[in-house]
Amino acid sequence: MEIVVLQPSLISLVAIAIMIGTIVVAYLKKITITYAIIIANLFVFLVSLFFGNQIIGDLGFRPAYLSVEQIPQIYTIFTSMFVHSGFLHILGNMFVFFFMGIAFEQRIGRKKFLVIYLITGVCGALTHSVLNLGSWVPLVGASGAIFGILGAFAYLYPRDEVVMPVPIGIMFIMRIKVIYATIIFAVLETVIVMFSVQDSTAHFAHLGGLASGVILAAVLIGKKAEKTKQATTAGSLDYMHIKKSDTINFSHLKELVKTPELKKILQHVEKENVLQARDMWLEHFLEKVTCPVCNKPLNHFDRKIWCEQEHFRTDY
């Protein structure tokens, strides 16, 4: 039995460097992981506009890679999540992921969000592969991971609302509770699979990602997530507590304004009428503020802000 090692092209190695580099930099710099994943996908897509066949051929995951002979290519189960086959493919995925990913990442934090994203993406690919063993048709796209995020989000925070396209006869862009969106997409995917609709979409990857998202959320976080009191310096804005009817205590936030940049960001928070956009500006502000005493980053959770050294504490 001969082990086969397929050498990726130079341009594919560049694409891999983009994927890894973007995520690592975002993690180290405490940048929202959702942004990093979207940026990585967009950059890889730009590269694939010029080298599409090469990128998909090298970095797409093929079920045949699960064989012992092809096991060196197993890394493509990760790289395939950052490769898309066309404009509509990446546009649809990134649009949904932008609104849903930010809200969910704010809920559970950057580390767990990234873990759920990557593992459910792998589970989606494996589900597709088990039902297509030996296939050499490449699987590409972030859909499995995005369905995984949707499943985890629905399990932990079913009453949260997100803006996303919902297929009800035709595609509507609407604000909808996560649990309803999950049910709609799950039923749609199940119907397509049951009636064996022939198209180019890996529907079993979607269902595998969705199911693994629910399971992983239960294992990693548990159903008591809404009562969790853990804190982090970034990505932990308590989304459910910020409603349009809520009043933010800007006087407390203004105490933390030390630079023109922070002043400008806080002005955006005050003026923004779109809920999710306001939350994004508020999260951006909270990521940048520092303790008035020791100048170290502040923790924030459940509308409270505090210094780990106990020099400062307030709410908003």
- Where residue 242 falls among pLDDT bands split at 50, 70, 90? very low
Give the strand pairing for 299-301 and 304-306.
antiparallel
30 vs 260, residue with greater confidence: 260
Average pLDDT of the chain to the nearest whole number: 84
Reply yes or no on whether the pLDDT at 43 is more than 50.
yes
Reply yes or no on whether the pLDDT at 159 is more than 90.
no
- Where residue 274 falls among pLDDT bands split at 50, 70, 90? low
79-90, pLDDT tens digit by residue?
999 999 888 889
Identify each DSSP E strand in the chain by its residue range.
Answer: 161-168, 170-177, 299-301, 304-306, 313-315
- Where residue 139 falls among pLDDT bands split at 50, 70, 90? very high
Distance CA 233, CA 24 (A): 17
By the 8 A CB rule, do 26 and 235 touch? no
User: Under the phi-then-psi rule, with left for phi > 0, alpha for psi from -120 to 50, and beta for the rest, what region is 64?
Assistant: alpha
Q: What is the pTM of this model?
A: 0.71
Reply yes or no on whether the pLDDT at 35 is more than 70.
yes
Segments of the chain assigned to CATH 1.20.1540.10: 10-226
CATH 1.20.1540.10, applies to 10-226: yes
Q: According to the model, what pLDDT value does residue 233 have?
A: 34
DSSP-derived 3-state class of residue 299:
strand
282-308, pLDDT tens digit by residue?
888 888 899 988 988 888 877 888 888
DSSP-derived 3-state class of residue 297:
strand
Distance CA 148, CA 128 (A): 14
Q: Rg of the chain over CA atoms, in angstroms?
A: 21
How much of the chain exceeds pLDDT 70, in percent? Answer: 86
Give the tokens for residue 66.
């699960």
- Where residue 110 falls among pLDDT bands split at 50, 70, 90? confident
Reply yes or no on whether the pLDDT at 128 is more than 90.
yes
